[in-house]
Structure 1
Amino acid sequence: MTPTHLPGRVAIPSLPEQTRTPRSQYALESFNATPVDEVRQTLLACLHSARWADRIADHRPYPDAESLLAASDEAAYDLTPADLAQALAWETLPALPEGAYSAAHTALSAAYAAYEAKFGHAFIICLDGLSHTEALDHVLAGIRSRLANDPEEERVVAAEELRRLARGRLVNALRGAGNGATSHHGAASGIDPHIPPH
Structure 2
Amino acid sequence: MHLEQFNSASRTGAAAALRPCLDIPRWIDELVDARPYSGLAALLEAGRGAADPFTPTEIEAALAHHPRIGERAPGTSVEARLSQSEQAGLGEADAAVAQALADGNRAYEEKFGQVFLIRAAGRSRQEILAALNTRLAHTPGEEQTIIGQQLREIAVLRLEGLMGQ
Counterpart position of 1:147: 136
Structure with a larger share of its residues in helix: 2
- % identity of equivalent residues: 34
Aligned to 1:164: 153
SS of the aligned residue for 2:2 comes to helix
Helix, strand or coil at the partner of 1:98:
coil
1:54 pairs, out of 29, 33, 41, with: 29
The equivalent position to 2:46 in structure 1, one of 71, 75, 87, is 71
- Consecutive unaligned residues of structure 2, counting only runs of 5 or more, are 71-86
Give the match for residue 109 of structure 2.
Answer: 116
Deviation track 1:55-112 (CA, whole Å, cap 9, x = no partner) reads: 1111111111111011100111032221121112211122463331111111110100
Q: Deviations over 1:117-168 (max 9, x none)?
A: 21122111114444xxxx1111100100000010000000010000000000
Count of residue pairs the alignment pairs up:
147
Q: Which has the higher contact order (CA 8 A, sep 6+)?
A: 1
Mapped contact 2:11–2:32 kept (Cα < 8 A): yes
Structure 2 length normalisation: TM-score? 0.83
Counterpart residue number, 1:101: 94
Q: Distance in 2 between matches of 1:165 and 1:126?
A: 6
Normalised by the length of structure 1, the TM-score is 0.70
Which residue is equivalent to 1:31?
A: 6
The runs of 5 or more residues in structure 1 that have no matched partner are 1-25, 176-192, 194-198
CA RMSD in angstroms, aligned pairs only: 1.6
